[in-house]
Structure 1
Amino acid sequence: MAEIAEDTDALGLPAEAEGNLEGWLFPSTYTFNPDVEPAEMLSTMVSTTIKMLDKYDVAEEDRERILTIASLVEKEAKKDEDRPMIAGVIMNRLDIDMMLQFDSTVKYIAPSEGVWTSEEDRLIDSPYNTYMYTGLPPTPIAAPGEASIEAAVNPADHDYTYFVTVNLETGETAYATNLEDHLANVEILNQWVAENQSSDDEE
């Protein structure tokens, strides 16, 4: 399978992906014949992603960027209603050259248990470390579904530059326009964690 995945031209992977399948294998339920070749399966997933991007009129030169933003939304959002909101936060931060500081990008290069990354993880020198580098990571970090792609194409219009999930069970997310309000929201999360679970538990 690894060798097949490396022949990305045969899978129909667009040139803008630069040979990286990450983000281009659309997550869905597929029905294949028992004797289907792995290359056909991967090719179908890639073509489904392209069809989805075309559905939302994403220009070829913007596909990789939209998929990258959508992949961040996919990893960060707990509820569909938050996807366009979080996409809006991403856009607002990019517009003012503010670091994204997403644990999800750090976990992409340093997978770990639990909700948060460690200080050691956040010191890893990698273009995927959005605590260290401004802007988007160089590629998608996950395979986004349609809701995340739509959110990346049509982000909510607001002034928020911060968000945090304040209830890890319900996925309730709070937004803020400044650090002071954000830290108050983080304290709500800390209180929820103290009352409900260890900080080392999974979301």
Structure 2
Amino acid sequence: MDSPLRIIGFYWTLPVPWRGFTRLPGGIDEAAAASRSIRYQRERVWRWAKDEGGQVVAEEAFLETRADRGTSAILPEVERLLAKAEAMGATLAVVNFAESFHWRPHASLWGRLQAAPRVMALDPVPVLIDGQIFDPVTHFRAWGEMAAAHTALKPKAKAEMAARIRRMKDTGASYAEIAKALNAEGVTTPGGKPWRADNLRKLLAAL
């Protein structure tokens, strides 16, 4: 009897700094809980593995370095997983969003995988997650619209934040004290980062 197909699942996503999503937890379960995109890709790979009578033997998740595109930063991880697949006699399974929907193209990733053996590119078809159909096209389109709305609001948000900082300065608070107060409230910079004295100064100087 032939051994079952051995599968390594590889899932990636983009950071969303304006929502404070700038890192993935270390464990794959935690990464899938933190990112719907990672959760979707994981479900897609596991369902394909089940259909093929295969076994998922390893999984890795990767968070890109840019919020707006895939980069070559992913390549060291890809090379490591390709070597692992070769050593284990496994297939590296990756969802190719751009192939079917021209969404989230990743030239660095697929430029490398297209020339590699032991790779399965999966179409991003909708799957059932927690009793509901998850359609990646609808999901990413909604995120794109929210990102566009956030970008449009940035000048207004910066002006409002600058006005608040100036009011706090007028009470005698230092930049360090203002940064500490804003961070304690969970208020981030327009780019989703913690406040520091230097970026407070830069915000005021830019307006």
Same fold (TM over 0.5): no
TM-score by length of 1: 0.26
TM-score by length of 2: 0.26
The structure carrying a bigger strand percent of its residues is: 2
Larger radius of gyration: 2
The structure carrying a bigger helix percent of its residues is: 2
